[in-house]
């Protein structure tokens, strides 16, 4: 009878886990965005979505950046630290083994030509202990460590996506401004030719002074666009070099080479 009473008491105590069970908060989300479709794009944190631009230079920059960016590397190291915390938290509920050994030598040492008597005694012991987690201390510790590990994974995904967004956007901006610059220079050449033709027509009496002023205004407005575009190109290139953690001088030569703006092909 006493045995059943002890078992019943242990069952009651084991149910008294410290702290309430964690209940994840309910966050209802729409099935799809109002501007998007119902197609599932999968986990964007593990999908190489930037390859849909089909730009080898961009692919190389992404690989280089993920291998060298400190924010991403720190986030990955936090995962390793949190994984170690899970192991340590779970170790408290495991059996522990203590092993000991001893050796004793006793006897009488005689003089020369007499026998020598000695006794050697060796002993060893091993103790196995296991702490019952009656109040759920180790269980809660392991749950908390596992939650920290999940948070570390989420933080790493956020750091990676934030970095990739900045890098890819900067590269696309760079190519966009390069195309804008090429287009502005082409327009400038065309409008300068129109201005020269209008001046010739003015001398021939086929155009008015107002026509010349309007042509000059178009040339000047186009010329005013070029310095700003050149500045934006260099700003984007320097920002990419900063994201990669490299001196701008080692990348500007390659980045400033004109190339078409990437187009997403999902």
CB atoms within 10 A of CB 140: 17
Tell me, what's the pLDDT at 199?
Answer: 92
What radius of gyration do the chain's Cα atoms show? 38
Tell me, what's the pLDDT at 11?
Answer: 54
DSSP-assigned letters across all residues of 100-134:
EEEEEEEEE---TTS--EEEEEEEEEEEEE----T
- The H or E element that residue 181 is part of is helix 137-204
List of domains in the chain: 52-77+156-255 (1.20.1600.10)
Tell me, what's the pLDDT at 8?
Answer: 52
Q: How far apart are CA 56 and CA 60, in angstroms?
A: 6
Tell me, what's the pLDDT at 227?
Answer: 95
Q: How far apart are CA 139 and CA 56, in angstroms?
A: 49
Tell me, what's the pLDDT at 182?
Answer: 93
Matching residue, tokens 């027509």: 201
- Tally the residues of the chain: 266
Tokens standing for residue 258: 């004109």
Tell me, what's the pLDDT at 47?
Answer: 83
CB 141, CB 18: distance < 8 Å: no
CB atoms within 10 A of CB 262: 18
Phi/psi for 236 (5° steps) reads -65, -40
Q: How far apart are CA 14 and CA 110, in angstroms?
A: 64
What is the reported pTM? 0.69
**DSSP strand E in the chain: where?**
96-108, 117-129
CA-based max dimension of the chain: 144
CB atoms within 10 A of CB 174: 21
Tokens standing for residue 63: 């690989």
Tell me, what's the pLDDT at 109?
Answer: 52
Q: How far apart are CA 253 and CA 76, in angstroms?
A: 32
Which residues, given as ranges, of the chain have pLDDT below 50? 13, 113-115
Tokens standing for residue 179: 């195309």
Tokens standing for residue 37: 């479709």
Q: How far is CA 76 from CA 12, 17, 44, 231, in A?
A: 42, 33, 17, 35
Q: How far apart are CA 218 and CA 192, in angstroms?
A: 9
DSSP state of 36: S
């Amino acid at each position: 009878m006493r045995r059943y009473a002890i078992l019943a008491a242990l069952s009651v105590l084991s149910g008294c886990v410290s702290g309430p069970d964690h209940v994840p908060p309910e966050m209802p989300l729409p099935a799809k965005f109002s501007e998007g479709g119902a197609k599932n794009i999968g986990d964007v944190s593990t999908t190489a979505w930037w390859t849909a631009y089909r730009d080898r230079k961009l692919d190389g920059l992404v690989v280089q950046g993920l291998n060298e960016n400190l924010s991403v590397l720190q986030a990955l190291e936090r995962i390793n630290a949190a994984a170690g915390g899970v192991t340590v938290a779970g170790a408290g509920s495991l059996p522990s083994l203590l092993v000991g050994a001893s050796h004793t030598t006793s006897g009488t040492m005689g003089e020369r030509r007499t026998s020598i008597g000695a006794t050697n005694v060796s002993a060893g012991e091993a103790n196995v202990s296991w702490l019952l987690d009656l109040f759920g201390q180790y269980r809660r510790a392991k749950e908390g460590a596992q939650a920290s590990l999940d948070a570390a994974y989420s933080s790493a995904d956020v750091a990676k996506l934030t970095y990739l967004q900045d890098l890819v956007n900067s590269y696309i901006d760079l190519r966009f401004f390069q195309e804008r610059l090429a287009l502005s220079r082409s327009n400038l050449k065309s409008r300068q030719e129109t201005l020269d033709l209008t001046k010739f027509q003015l001398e021939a009496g086929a155009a008015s002074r107002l026509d010349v002023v309007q042509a000059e205004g178009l040339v000047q407005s186009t010329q005013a666009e070029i310095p700003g575009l050149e500045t934006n190109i260099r700003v984007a290139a320097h920002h990419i070099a900063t994201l990669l953690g490299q001196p701008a001088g080692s990348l500007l030569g390659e980045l400033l080479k004109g190339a078409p703006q990437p187009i997403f092909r999902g």
